[in-house]
Amino acid sequence: MIASGNSDRGVLLHRRPYTDSRWLVDFLTDRNGRISGVHRTGSKHQSSLELFVEYSIAWRGKSQLVTISQCEVEKIFPIEGRKLYLGLYLNELVAKTTRPEEHVEGLFGVYVDSISAIGGERSDVEPILRSFERTLLKGLGYEIAFDVEASNGNAIDPAERYEYLADGGFRRLENGSAEGFDGASLLAISRNDYSQARTRAVAKFVLRSALQHRIGDQKILSRSLFGSKVPQMNETSRIT
């Protein structure tokens, strides 16, 4: 149970109307994991909550739906254009892979770093997404070793091909097989080297497969937005 009167740093994952003056909100916090609560708008200590903003929040209550008693802006991450969808993707991943009050070691820090990097001048954001996905899986206890075989611990050979197993590892295929993934790409992923298009494709497939295994039958809806028109910030709040 959440102790009454807690406070922490947090970022808003999503919000939805509850009553005329209240919203149901989910925060990812630094020390307390994902917090679900009720936020009252328009009061002295409450601000209009927005995505991609770091807040100092306080709450009271002992259930899994607490009352947000204070919320103050600490830092705003400027994300515009189609990069908004990337931020929504990170938010949805966190919301669908973590449980309420579950603290995932290092997740808050890597989320803030990723959002900051996405909003920066860097145009190549795919390595940011892949690194975030790897860190999330590791924190959840589903770390994938890209440099060794799962069954025997043998080092991945860059000249061989491997299949991905449902339990999160790799197994070498028979000589001459054209199936699976090349060892060179797996080793590049282990070094967070996404300079080659082939490596990016392998990393995206494997990491998304592993995350889907964690999520189950739920769909990652934000992926379908990547081809849509660019929303305004108030529209992104409605999307979430």
| Mean pLDDT of the chain, nearest integer | 86
pLDDT in tens, 20-78: 788 999 999 999 999 999 998 765 545 578 999 999 999 998 778 899 999 999 999 99
Pick from 16-20, 57-61, 92-96: least confident: 16-20
Residue 171 pLDDT: 94
Reduced to 3 states (helix: H, G, I; strand: E, B; else coil), residue 158 is coil
How much is the average pLDDT of 137-152?
A: 93
How much is the average pLDDT of 201-228?
A: 84
Residues 84 and 115: beta-carbon distance below 8 Å: no
Residue 36 pLDDT: 93
DSSP class of residue 148? B
Global pTM value: 0.84
Pairwise CA distance, residues 220 & 236, whole Å: 15
